[in-house]
Amino acid sequence: MTAMRFAHETLGQRVLFGTGAAGEHVAAEIERLGAARPMVVAAEPERALAETATAGATPVLWWGEVAQHVPVEVAEGARAAAAEHAVDVIVSVGGGSTTGLAKAVALTTGLPIIAVPTTYAGSEATNVWGLTEDRTKTTGVDPRVLPTAVVYDAQLSRTLPVELSVASGLNGLAHCVDSLWAPKADPINQAMALEGARALNLALRGIVADPQDLDAREQALYGCYLAAVAFASAGSGLHHKICHVLGGTFDLPHAPTHATVLPYVLALNAPGVPELAARLAAALGHIPADGQDPAVAAVYALNVLRETVDAPARLSDHGFTAAGIPEAVDRILDAAPASNPVPVSGAGVERLLTDALTGATPTPAVPATV
């Protein structure tokens, strides 16, 4: 057995979990921080949820302009408004784009964030920020953008439509899968990623069966939190590099893009890490049969889940076309991590994008048996 040797960093953050308790928890956190001038960031369609979550607070500013991939001009507008109103804390209520905008404000102001997620994006548990300018999405890591506290309330995600719940949950699952072999992957974040995958597998099935099932939605929040914590520690792997290009350059929707690309990246990478592939297959409910290649088992388990929950299946459904593949390949090759489990080539990325474009069946390239 190989001796373990790694460095693991755990991010400091308070997590308050309780269905129906968001208003109470947000108010308590504002008081704990000694803040008195909250800025609430929430897209207009989620204003009612934000009012519920901040019922015990008195915001001095409501900011409703939210856009996916956080355009620089939107971030600059929110920063200026925060300064004008002498804001001393940011409360973000919404999905990944909302949390991302709050992070963009915190990045330059140092203001603390109380994040109240209404989807399963997981951005609330990471110190990663992202901004888009001139069709290029730039990401970075900075301790200032890690929310001081996260308030999870399954009641706030109850109105999230099933289709969006599935895409968002699979986005969370992508954090799990990428964390298994990202540049700073270690046994601790791998363990959290596999438990997150187990929880999300069960949660998404439960939500599809009954969208009002609060137990399933609590499991989804639990799973996405573990996924995000693992991702924050392990770093961004090939899957996220691909999706950042597709989102920032081609303006594809964040969660459906992650949900669509995930099985193809898994099919590419799983043959290079058979032990981890076997553990992932088991976490997704399929213990590899005797003689079954672990990569095949992992891809099979993910495909069964995706079929069960009717997951997004083709990039063409979201506006991507074959004409964009050459530029995407060049950008992805520039960003691909050197530590990827298998070599990343232009031909390989082109094939992956072509398959994801058309919804071809993901198939791992496993060694032939003799």
Give domain status of residue 129, yes or no.
Answer: yes
**Could you read off the pLDDT of 163-206 as tens digits, one per residue?**
999 999 999 999 999 999 999 999 999 999 999 999 999 999 99
Q: Check whether residue 193 and residue 310 sit in a common domain.
A: yes
Q: Check whether residue 141 and residue 178 sit in a common domain.
A: no
**CA-closest candidate to residue 175, choices 213, 238, 231:** 231
Neighbours of 69 (CB within 10 A): 21
pLDDT-wise least confident of 28-32, 118-122, 329-333, 349-353: 118-122
Return the SS3 of 90.
strand
pLDDT-wise least confident of 9-13, 127-131, 333-337: 9-13
Which percentage of the chain shows pLDDT scores above 70?
98
Distance CA 7, CA 19 (A): 35
Q: Check whether residue 238 and residue 258 sit in a common domain.
A: yes
Please list the residues that pair with 139 across neighbouring strands. 130
Q: Check whether residue 166 and residue 315 sit in a common domain.
A: yes
Average pLDDT over residues 101-105: 98
Give domain status of residue 140, yes or no.
Answer: yes
Q: Check whether residue 62 and residue 201 sit in a common domain.
A: no
**CA-closest candidate to residue 357, choices 276, 223, 250, 273:** 250
Q: Check whether residue 22 and residue 114 sit in a common domain.
A: yes
Structural domain boundaries, residue 292: 162-358
Give domain status of residue 7, yes or no.
Answer: no
Average pLDDT over residues 344-363: 97
Domain end point (choices 94, 124, 157): 157
Which percentage of the chain shows pLDDT scores above 90?
93
Q: Check whether residue 62 and residue 123 sit in a common domain.
A: yes
Give domain status of residue 24, yes or no.
Answer: yes
Give domain status of residue 6, yes or no.
Answer: no
pLDDT of 272: 97
Give domain status of residue 9, yes or no.
Answer: no
- 136-141 vs 113-117, strand pairing mode: unpaired
Q: Check whether residue 169 and residue 305 sit in a common domain.
A: yes
pLDDT band, very low/low/confident/very high, at 1 (cuts 50, 70, 90):
low
**Could you read off the pLDDT of 241-252 as tens digits, one per residue?**
999 999 999 999
- Burial group, residue 289, by CB count within 10 angstroms (0-12, 13-18, 19+): exposed
Distance CA 154, CA 367 (A): 44
Neighbours of 2 (CB within 10 A): 4
What DSSP string runs through 233-253?
HH---HHHHHHHHHHHHH---
Q: Check whether residue 63 and residue 41 sit in a common domain.
A: yes
Give domain status of residue 332, yes or no.
Answer: yes
pLDDT band, very low/low/confident/very high, at 85 (cuts 50, 70, 90):
very high
Cβ neighbors of 326 (< 8 A, separation 6 or more) are 350
Residue 151 token pair: 């308030």
DSSP state of 59: -
Q: Check whether residue 124 and residue 180 sit in a common domain.
A: no
Residue 10 has pLDDT above 90, yes or no: no
Q: Residue 91: which CATH number?
A: 3.40.50.1970
Domain end point (choices 121, 139, 157): 157
pLDDT band, very low/low/confident/very high, at 370 (cuts 50, 70, 90):
very low
Q: Check whether residue 300 and residue 224 sit in a common domain.
A: yes
Domain end point (choices 104, 125, 157): 157
- The residue type of 360 is A
Residue 46 has pLDDT above 60, yes or no: yes
Q: How many domains is the chain built from?
A: 2
Distance CA 288, CA 17 (A): 34
Average pLDDT over residues 65-73: 95
Q: Residue 283: which CATH number?
A: 1.20.1090.10
Q: Check whether residue 89 and residue 170 sit in a common domain.
A: no
**CA-closest candidate to residue 316, choices 250, 239, 231:** 250
**Could you read off the pLDDT of 316-352 as tens digits, one per residue?**
999 999 999 999 999 999 999 999 999 999 999 999 9
**Could you read off the pLDDT of 211-255 as tens digits, one per residue?**
999 999 999 999 999 999 999 999 999 999 999 999 999 999 999
**Could you read off the pLDDT of 143-157 as tens digits, one per residue?**
999 999 999 999 999
Give domain status of residue 3, yes or no.
Answer: no
